[in-house]
A and B are shown apart, each in its own frame.
Chain A
Amino acid sequence: MKTINPQAAEKLDDEELLTLVGQRDQIAFEAFYDRFERRAFSLAYRVIGERSAAEDTVQEAFLSIWKSGERYDQTRGSAGAWALGIVRNRAIDTLRSKASRTPTLDSDDDGVLESRSSENRTDEQVMRRETQHEVRTVISELPEKQSKVINLAFFGGFSQSEISSMLDLPLGTVKGRMRLGLERIRGGLVEEGRVNA
């Protein structure tokens, strides 16, 4: 089957490539993968904390994109956010399925931060890990109360109810801290001129 040529694929934006992926265009898929490979792997590794499992997760996620690219709906966000959302969810699934063989807490690996399923992690372990390996990112500039709930949810795969129990906080407080944290991150992006107010 004739497909788009690689040079033309490079000129397309993510959404356009993904539309071609929905038409089973292999060149478009490869171009799309190339754009997100590093970010996808880094995200999976951040969540899972093991290279081989992270690679398997990325492979599964992108195969899923290959087979379901047609289902991408651009009205629900960017193609990149959609793809990385699939990677993140797969990584969380992997993390949960690895409940019986979790990484050690004293690893230097950033990816291990929340790398334990909720069943296997004690509050004490999570707290210790949080304070030992603060990630130097935008999250680290947030008040600790906000960064903690965001980390536990997004990278740890904990539900808001689990976080509420773990931190012994009312559910409304957990929701509030998530909102304040996201708003603060967004505010930083506005200050840097990266998004509109």
Chain B
Amino acid sequence: MSPRSHESWKEELPPFLLGALSPGERADLEYHLGGCAECQAELRWLESAREELVSQVKQVEPSPDLKVRLMAAVEADLAENPATQNPATQPAPASRADEPGPVLGSERQENAFKAPKRSWLDFGQLLRPAILGSLAAVLFAGVIVGYAFNGRDNSGSEGTVVAQRVLTGSSNSGNADATMVISGQSGTLKVTNLMKLPDDEVYQAWVQKGQSIEATDSLFTPRKDGTATTSIPDLNGVDVVMVSVEPKGGSEQPTSVPILTIETT
């Protein structure tokens, strides 16, 4: 039997999008799609039309009970199968040892998450009074040097992220919340509830690799609603992302204690 032509596969894309292929036809096409960039592109091109079909459906309100029932079912599921602790949001690192990786992790990633480690947040909490007292750069550097890794290899390879992950972090002072979406080697940091800064100050992101702290070009000020978004282009080998308040134009070394910390490993 001769192999199917590429055109014949393309003909299957519209019925595929509309859910009109038989299970066998669908499986065959999905197999082809896995190795055909042209068909993948064509599929994405047509996808917006299908989304339009959904968006044009006459909108009808469900009963409020629907959400109540759904969330009750979710609660019940959580009670029945207690959630795997979310490493990204868990404040106390000591209990991480038994946790699996967060999302789509390779075995290597999962092992990395199992490595117990201390967090910047711990130091931040201990130093909160000092933060309020505007600790000097020397203290910031001292804290960084004091950061312990329990013998973990920080050569960088373990920190490599191959799938998108969402991490959350907390502020060491104030009410700011941080979320970082890691995709491949880069991350997008989203911060909420940031305090407005004087005109001569900016927020600056830093990355910690092993015991070294490196400046990034990510300087930002919050929008009127206290939110800010910035990117961290290279997270290879990064263990912690931090944000501190710096003079306008940024600094080469941190001059204040970080207000936010997010562990990336």
Contacts and interface: CB of A to CB of B under 8 A. Distances in A.
Interface string A141-166: 00000000010011001111101000
B52 A138 contact: yes
B116 to A, nearest CB: 18
13 contacts: A1-B83, A1-B90, A3-B89, A12-B181, A19-B103, A26-B83, A38-B61, A59-B66, A67-B77, A137-B56, A160-B21, A183-B46, A186-B49
Contacts of B66: 37, 41, 55, 58-59
Interface string A15-42: 1100110111110011001100111011
Given A11-B192, A37-B62, A186-B46, A160 B15 contact: yes
Listed residue (B20, B51, B66, B69) with the most chain A CB atoms within 10 angstroms of its CB: B20
Contacts of A37: 62, 66-67
Nearest to B176: A8
Interface stretch (B129-137, B160-168, B207-215, B246-254): B160-168
Contacts of A62: 70
A98 interface: no
A41 B51 CA distance: 15
A126 interface: no
A12 B179 contact: yes
Interface of B: 11-15, 17-22, 44-63, 65-67, 69-71, 73-75, 77-78, 83-86, 88-91, 102-104, 164-166, 168, 177, 179, 181, 190, 192-193, 227
Contacts, number: 202
A4 B54 CA distance: 30
B78 A26 contact: yes
Interface of A: 1-5, 7-8, 11-12, 15-16, 19-20, 22-26, 29-30, 33-34, 37-39, 41-43, 45-46, 51, 54-55, 58-59, 62-63, 66-67, 70, 74, 77-78, 80-81, 84, 88-89, 92, 110, 135, 137-139, 150, 153-154, 157-161, 163, 172, 174-176, 178-179, 181-183, 185-186, 188-189, 194-195
